[in-house]
């Protein structure tokens, strides 16, 4: 029997140990390596590479990455909650179509959608022209290449990641509880906060992770619509890897990124004793 467990476990265990655990530990180790003027790796160990990451230039980018992903997460939840609620309460005949409408853009290539936004926000783009014609923005306002463009496109890209897990929790919610709360004199807001929210909290938590994790590690979106004023950690990691060829600095930034994700995650998981899965939102693992 023991042999069978080993035989079943070994392929995935061995593969992930070799191609996930070791590479991840290597990045963490490289964060403590000194580098020379050309970005080459020097022998020995140092904390200077990590301190380098905390200099004011990087601090601006770290801070921007945090607030952009924080606001993205908050807005996606704020839009995702009512949308998930409507879909969950929709007539069964429309429910599947509504879900499909949410999922279709999500399953098309994300690169293409991001570049479509670039074309829309471009000074000669349709959206820019429409907004100018409606006197919402001035002709000389630039919509592209700033942190706000990154924010809009991130909210756009990750919104379905928020809707789907909240929906799957809301679909199991007993909506008669809301009627009961109203009968007992609760206002809409009280019923929402005290009855609905606790009932779907696991879905909301999954949604939070599903938006926050890719948002904090975003690379393509700030690269395409952000310009220098919209750079995030991901851009710096890529820049140090490919342009400056400074792997210790790229690793130090990666260590920060991993810490931002993994420390709160593991704390929550240890405290709650269970993990929710990013998979729940892909729509494949339906009960």
Partner 1 sequence: MKRSRFPQIVTLLGLLFLYIPILMLVLTSFNESKYGGVWGGFSLIWYKKLFQNEDVWKALRNSLFIGVSATLASTVIGTLAALALTKYKGFLQKLHYGMIYVPLIMPDILMGISLLLFFVALSFPLGLTTIFIAHTTFCISYVTMVMLARLQQFDWALIEAAEDLGADTWQMFWKVMMPLLTPGLLAGALLAFTLSIDDFVITFFVSGPGSTTLPLFVYSSLKFGSPSIINALSVLVLLITFTVLWLSQRLTTEKP
Q: Which of residues 223-282 bind partner 1 (CB under 8 A)?
A: 224, 234, 237-238, 241, 247, 250-251, 254, 257-258, 261-262, 265, 275, 277-279, 282
The 121-150 contact track toward partner 1, x by CB under 8 A, reads -x-xxxxxx---------------------
Q: Are 111 and 215 in contact (CB under 8 A)?
A: no
CA distances from 115 to 33, 111, 122, 136 (A): 37, 6, 10, 23
Q: How far is the CB of 57 from partner 1 (least distance, A)?
A: 19
Residue 50 engages partner 1 in binding (rule: CB under 8 A): no
3-state secondary structure 23-86: HHHHHHHHCCCCECCCCCECCCCCCHHHHHHCCHHHHHHHHHHHHHHHHHHHHHHHHHHHHHHH
Residue 164 engages partner 1 in binding (rule: CB under 8 A): no
- The H or E element that residue 157 is part of is helix 147-170
CA distances from 207 to 159, 183, 193 (A): 9, 30, 17
Q: How far is the CB of 130 from partner 1 (least distance, A)?
A: 10
Q: Rg for the chain (alpha carbons), in Å?
A: 23
Q: Is 194 helix (H, G, I), strand (E, B) or coil?
A: helix
Per 3-state DSSP, the chain is made up of helix, strand and coil in percentages (nearest 5) of 75, 0, 25
Interacting stretch for partner 1, rule CB under 8 A, among 44-52, 53-61, 141-149, 156-164?
A: 156-164
Q: How far is the CB of 47 from partner 1 (least distance, A)?
A: 19
Q: Which is nearer to partner 1, 98 or 171 (CB)?
A: 98
d(CA 143, CA 118): 9
Residue 165 engages partner 1 in binding (rule: CB under 8 A): no
Q: Are 73 and 159 in contact (CB under 8 A)?
A: no
Residue 79 engages partner 1 in binding (rule: CB under 8 A): yes
Residue 108 engages partner 1 in binding (rule: CB under 8 A): yes
Q: Which of 3, 5, 55, 243 is in the footprint of partner 1 by CB under 8 A?
A: 5
Q: Which is nearer to partner 1, 59 or 130 (CB)?
A: 130
What number of chain residues touch partner 1 (CB under 8 A)?
A: 85
Interacting stretch for partner 1, rule CB under 8 A, among 21-29, 44-52, 140-148, 196-204?
A: 21-29
Residue 103 engages partner 1 in binding (rule: CB under 8 A): yes
Q: Which is nearer to partner 1, 13 or 63 (CB)?
A: 13
| Stretch 197-226 residues interacting with partner 1 (CB under 8 A) | 209, 213-214, 216-217, 219-220, 224
Interacting stretch for partner 1, rule CB under 8 A, among 19-27, 54-62, 142-150, 193-201?
A: 19-27
In the DSSP assignment, the letter for residue 193 is: I
């Amino acid at each position: 029997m023991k042999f069978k467990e080993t035989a079943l476990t070994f392929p995935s265990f061995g593969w992930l140990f070799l191609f996930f655990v070791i590479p991840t530990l290597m990045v963490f180790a490289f964060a403590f390596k000194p580098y020379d003027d050309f970005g080459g790796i020097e022998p020995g160990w140092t904390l200077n590479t990590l301190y380098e990451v905390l200099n004011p230039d990087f601090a601006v980018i770290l801070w921007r990455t945090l607030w952009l992903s924080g606001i993205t997460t908050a807005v996606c939840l704020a839009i995702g909650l009512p949308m998930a609620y409507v879909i969950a309460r929709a007539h069964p005949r429309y429910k599947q179509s509504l879900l499909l409408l949410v999922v279709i853009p999500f399953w098309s290539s994300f690169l293409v959608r991001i570049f479509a936004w670039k074309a829309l926000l471009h000074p000669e783009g349709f959206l820019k022209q429409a907004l100018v014609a409606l006197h919402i923005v001035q002709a000389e306002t630039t919509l592209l290449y700033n942190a706000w463009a990154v924010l809009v496109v991130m909210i756009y890209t990750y919104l379905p990641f928020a809707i789907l897990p909240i929906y799957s929790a809301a679909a199991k919610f007993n909506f008669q509880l809301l009627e009961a709360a109203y009968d007992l004199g609760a206002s809409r807001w009280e019923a929402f906060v005290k009855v609905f929210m606790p009932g779907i909290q696991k879905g909301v938590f999954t949604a939070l992770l599903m938006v926050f994790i890719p948002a904090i590690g975003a690379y393509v979106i700030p690269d395409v619509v952000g310009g220098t004023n919209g750079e995030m950690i991901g851009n710096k990691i890529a820049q140090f890897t490919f342009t400056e060829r400074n792997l210790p600095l790229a690793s130090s930034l990666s260590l920060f990124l991993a810490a931002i994700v993994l420390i709160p995650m593991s704390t929550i998981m240890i405290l709650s004793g269970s993990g929710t899965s990013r998979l729940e939102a892909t729509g494949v693992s339906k009960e």
